[in-house]
Copies of this chain bind each other. A is one copy, B any other.
Amino acid sequence: MANKSQNWILMATAQTPTNIAVIKYWGKRDETLILPINDSISVTLDPDHLCTTTTVAVSRSFEKDRMWLNGKEISLSGGRYQSCLREIRSRANDVEDEERGIHILKQDWEKLHVHIASYNNFPTAAGLASSAAGFACLVFALAKLMNVKEDQGKLSAIARQGSGSACRSLYGGFVKWVMGNDVNGSDSVAVQLANDTHWDDLVIIVAVVSSRQKETSSTTGMRESVETSALLYHRSKEVVPKRILQMEEAIQNRDFPSFAQLACADSNQFHAVCLDTCPPIFYMNDTSHRQVLIISYIEKWNRSEGTPQFIRVGKESMLNVGTKVSYWMFYVLGDKSILQDAGIEAMKDVEALPPPPEIKGNIPSQKYKGDVSYFICTRPGRGPVLLADESLALLHPKTGMPK
């Protein structure tokens, strides 16, 4: 060991976006490596609105790896955390900070312990892929701390082993998770289709209908679908590959009618496969069910005007249903300020309702009456970033414990 002082704590803090799939990931071909049965495509959501912040710290004084999620210590013994930690450590490099007297050699990392603190500014396990942002942020922050030199694609393959959809959060904008062919998963990585400025008038409104945890976990649900659904294999082999190509084209051309139609059709098919599972899985609750009816009306309305119309905020909206929440996707033509007008003012009457307990302060939580807990109004956003401002760290720089 080259260090004289044992008292230093080296930290890195990163912020990583979550993402919403518009062509769904449902079904694994390998449960340990988390390899999917089909490609998927997502939109990365602006981390200014929804994100995970993670601080990782290393010190020779840490006695074991520890992690705090939303302020509460959680176990790192699970296979998914262990996979990510192992994969990142094995790619660590020398780190030197002359000024602070920090000298860590590549081989030291296997023996050094880390502290991790992570915070989601939106409800965990409420359908917003908090695990996606979480594992992406963990892997990204550790990679920075440990001077890992692999590119984002390689990091995405590591994040994937924490949570499948996490790999898509390594990039901003529009992202494809390529299922890959290798049995070791090396080619099952995320690739960016377009960055976050490519389609800057696409707006996404997330209507969180329930912040309850879902009754069937994605892992269990996927396994049961793979084992029992008579339709899933056909979906993954025949339907999704065509939709992936169409969706890539729609994104490239900023073709909203095709984009919305594909996203809705794929979301519905995801729910269809869940229903075709034995026992059937219901991720749509009564509220999203009612909201799905809105798709139906909107589509009919679109049809009556010929080809699908652009959807305007306020009066008409396009609905897409996610795992447990409903997403309205708005395309704003012309004056984008209507978005603020419609988005905020329409919800005045329900603003008085208290936000769900998980919500801490900083996200807009305008609510609709009834079952919709709140709306989140956002847009495609950037990928992970390192936060230089040390005051934003979630661990105390002197103790390495949560602030």
| A281–B293 alpha-carbon span in the complex (Å) | 8
Given contacts A231-B234, A268-B276, contact A289 B282 (CB under 8 A): yes
**Contact across chains for A264 and B235 when beta carbons are under 8 A apart:** no
Copies in the complex: 2
- CB-CB under 8 A from A299, the residues of chain B are 278-279
A263: shortest Cβ distance to chain B, in Å? 12
For A268, list chain B residues within 8 Å (CB).
275-278, 280
> In this assembly, does A76 line the interface, its C-beta being within 8 Å of a C-beta of chain B?
no
Whether the Cβ atoms of A269 and B231 lie closer than 8 Å is: yes
Closest Cβ–Cβ distance, residue A103 to chain B (whole Å): 55
- Residue A385 at the B interface, CB < 8 A? no
The answer to whether B239 and A235 touch across the interface, beta carbons within 8 angstroms, is no
Name A's interface SS. Answer: helix
What sequence of 0s and 1s flags, for each residue 265-298 of chain A, a beta carbon within 8 Å of any chain B beta carbon?
A: 1001101110111111110001001001101110
Among residues 236 to 278 in chain A, which have CB atoms less than 8 Å away from a CB atom of chain B? 238-239, 261, 264-265, 268-269, 271-273, 275-278
**Complex interface: chain B residues within 8 A of A100 (CB):** none
Question: Which residues in B have their C-beta under 8 angstroms from that of A338?
Answer: none
Fill in one digit per residue for A316-352: 1 if any B CB lies within 8 Å of its CB, else 0: 0000000000000000000000000000000000000
Give the docked Cα–Cα distance between A269 and B228 (Å). Answer: 11
CB of A276 within 8 A of CB of B282, answer no
Q: Flag whether A29 is at the interface (Cβ < 8 A).
A: no
Determine the chain B residues whose CB is within 8 A of the CB of A269 once the complex forms.
Answer: 230-231, 275-276
> Residue of B at shortest CB range from A276?
B272
A201 to B215, CA, bound (A): 36
Contacts of A278 in B (CB 8 A): 261, 264-265, 268, 299
Pair A279/B261 contact, Cβ less than 8 Å: no
A360 CB within 8 Å of chain B: no
User: Closest CB-CB distance, A210 to chain B, in whole Å?
Assistant: 14
Set of chain B residues within 8 Å of A215, measured between Cβ atoms:
362
Name which residue of chain B comes closest to A285, CB basis: B289
Return the contact of A231 from the options B235, B279, B280 (Cβ within 8 A): B235
Report the minimal beta-carbon distance from A286 to chain B, rounded to whole angstroms.
5
Do A296 and B280 touch (CB < 8 A)?
A: yes
Q: How far is the CA of A82 from the CA of B278 in the complex (A)?
A: 43
Within 8 Å of chain B (Cβ to Cβ): is A149?
A: no
| A3 to B268 CA separation, bound complex (whole angstroms) | 64
Residue picked from A215, A264, A269, A279, most chain B C-beta under 10 Å: A279
Complex CA distance for A286 and B235, rounded to whole angstroms: 27
A300 on the B face (CB < 8 A): yes
On whether the beta carbons of B279 and A295 are closer than 8 Å, the reply is: yes
Q: How far is the CB of A389 from chain B (nearest CB, A)?
A: 44
B293 and A282 contacting across the interface, CB-CB below 8 Å: yes
A261 contacts which chain B residues (CB < 8 A)?
Answer: 278
Chain B residue at smallest Cβ distance from A273: B272
Bound-complex Cα distance A279 to B320 (A): 12
- Contact surface of A with B, Cβ cutoff 8 Å: 215, 228, 230-231, 234-235, 238-239, 261, 264-265, 268-269, 271-273, 275-282, 286, 289, 292-293, 295-297, 299-300, 362
Sorted nearest first, the 9 A-B pairs with minimum C-beta distance are: A279-B296, A272-B272, A272-B276, A279-B299, A234-B234, A272-B275, A230-B239, A268-B280, A231-B231
**What are 16 A-B residue pairs whose CB atoms fall within 8 Å in the complex?**
A215-B362, A230-B235, A230-B265, A231-B231, A231-B239, A231-B269, A234-B234, A234-B238, A268-B278, A268-B280, A272-B275, A278-B299, A279-B295, A280-B295, A280-B296, A282-B293
For the complex with contacts A234-B234, A275-B275, A282-B289, 19 further pairs of A-B residues with Cβ separation under 8 Å are A228-B265, A230-B235, A230-B238, A230-B239, A230-B269, A231-B234, A231-B239, A234-B238, A265-B276, A268-B278, A279-B295, A279-B297, A280-B292, A280-B295, A280-B296, A281-B296, A282-B293, A286-B286, A289-B289
